[in-house]
């Protein structure tokens, strides 16, 4: 997959294009990408994804300041590459671009720069200043700019349309199983292992502290999870705690993300890891003693191993 950041240097033959933020690159986006690639092959062209960075909501709404991404730009790029997309175009989202009308965006960017011949959008796609552009807008502009347009129906799971918003809600409530079902893969977090106070080691459950690489990445609800840990070429089993560690520190050191990797004794400070969330075990709890905490950790490990075995 070719990655493009300079719109002035694009030379894509017979471009079949889709546009959007695609946060999460979830299963609802899959139908769009499959259709994109089918049309590209039919027309002997190339499949092109046009996305924006940063997320437009960071510019356009007051609540955007607290927005958390389902996928970082790097994760998004990797997901599209795996799906077989030919070109990934990253359009910097600026104040100037936010003031483009829908027609100006189609004329200057999609047709003028990308030179799209065929445009495919999702069921609820809106674009242009104040999101005034819709699929009806595209149909009205198609003849004028000599471009074919089509819309892909929504993907429905549990009688509701799949959306990035619905996935965020699932993660914020700790419903990892629903989030993974809507994504079509395990929700993941990329980070670097940093030093901690090594208290877990004294309890028989050594942990590695994970520092997320992107501060805008959404962290699931506090609690204990069964996880896979991708370390280099190895996939390891473990359990992870997100929270304040109330039994050990009373929250005085702030929230942490700590993973205990099963049957693993190696030194990995400074290493990059990817944690993939498989199942949620419980809420974080303050125990009456360290001994009670250790007993619960043993039960947590058994539950986590069962969850991961069922996956395998």
Give the CATH number, domain containing residue 208. 2.40.30.30
**Whole-number pLDDT of residue 133:** 87
The pLDDT value recorded for residue 310 is 94
Residue 176 lies in a domain: no
Whether residue 8 is found in the same domain as residue 154: yes
**Does residue 150 share a domain with residue 205?**
no
Residues of the chain falling short of pLDDT 50: none
Same domain, 108 and 213: no
pLDDT for res 165? 93
* pLDDT at residue 238 in the model: 97
- For residues 239 and 140, membership in a common domain is answered with no
Q: Does residue 157 sit in the same domain as residue 8?
A: yes
- The reply to whether 168 falls in a domain is no
Considering the domain boundaries, does residue 172 fall inside one?
no
Is residue 230 in some structural domain? yes
Which CATH number belongs to the domain containing residue 150 in this structure?
A: 3.40.50.620
Report the 10 Å Cβ neighbour count for 61.
Answer: 11
> In terms of domains, do 217 and 157 share one?
no
Among 126, 161, 196, give the residue marking a domain's end: 161
Residue 266: predicted pLDDT: 85
In a domain, 66, yes or no: yes
Contact 162, 27 (CB under 8 A): yes
- Is residue 135 located within the same domain as residue 235? no
Parent domain of 120:
2-161
Q: How many domains does the chain have?
A: 2
**Which residue, 155, 236, 241, 233, is CA-closest to 199?**
241
Q: Does residue 126 lie within any of the structural domains?
A: yes
The answer to whether position 225 is within a domain reads: yes
| Residues 235 and 144 both lie in one domain | no
Same structural domain, 215 and 269 = yes
Is 178 among the domain residues?
no
The predicted pLDDT at position 252 comes to: 65
């Amino acid at each position: 997959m070719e990655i493009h950041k300079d719109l002035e240097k694009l030379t894509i033959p017979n471009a079949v294009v889709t546009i959007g933020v695609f946060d999460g690159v979830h299963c609802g986006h899959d139908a769009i990408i499959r259709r994109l690639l089918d049309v590209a092959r039919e027309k002997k062209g190339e499949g092109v994804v046009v996305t924006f960075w940063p997320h437009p909501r960071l510019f356009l709404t007051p609540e955007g300041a607290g927005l958390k991404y389902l996928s970082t730009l790097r994760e998004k790029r990797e997901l599209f590459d795996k799906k077989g997309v030919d070109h990934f175009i990253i359009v910097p989202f600026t104040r100037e671009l936010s003031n483009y009308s829908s027609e100006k965006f189609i004329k200057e960017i999609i047709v003028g720069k990308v030179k799209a011949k065929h445009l495919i959008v999702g069921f609820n796609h809106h674009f242009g200043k104040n999101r005034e552009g819709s699929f009806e807008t595209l149909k009205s502009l198609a003849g004028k700019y000599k471009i074919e347009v089509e819309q892909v129906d929504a993907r429905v799971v549990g009688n509701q349309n799949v959306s990035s918003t619905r996935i965020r809600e699932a993660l914020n409530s700790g419903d990892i199983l629903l989030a993974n079902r809507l994504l079509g893969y395990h929700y993941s977090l990329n980070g670097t292992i940093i030093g901690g106070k090594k208290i877990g080691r004294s309890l028989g459950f050594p942990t590695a502290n994970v520092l997320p690489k992107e501060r805008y990445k959404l962290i699931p609800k506090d609690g204990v999870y069964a996880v896979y840990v991708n370390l280099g070429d190895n996939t390891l089993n473990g359990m992870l705690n997100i929270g304040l560690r109330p039994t050990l520190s009373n929250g005085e050191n702030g929230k942490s993300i700590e993973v205990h990797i099963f049957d693993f004794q190696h030194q990995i400070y400074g290493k990059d890891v990817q944690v993939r969330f498989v199942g949620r075990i419980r809420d974080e709890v303050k125990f009456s003693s360290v001994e009670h905490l250790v007993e619960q950790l043993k039960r947590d490990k058994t539950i986590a191993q069962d969850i991961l075995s069922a996956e395998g």
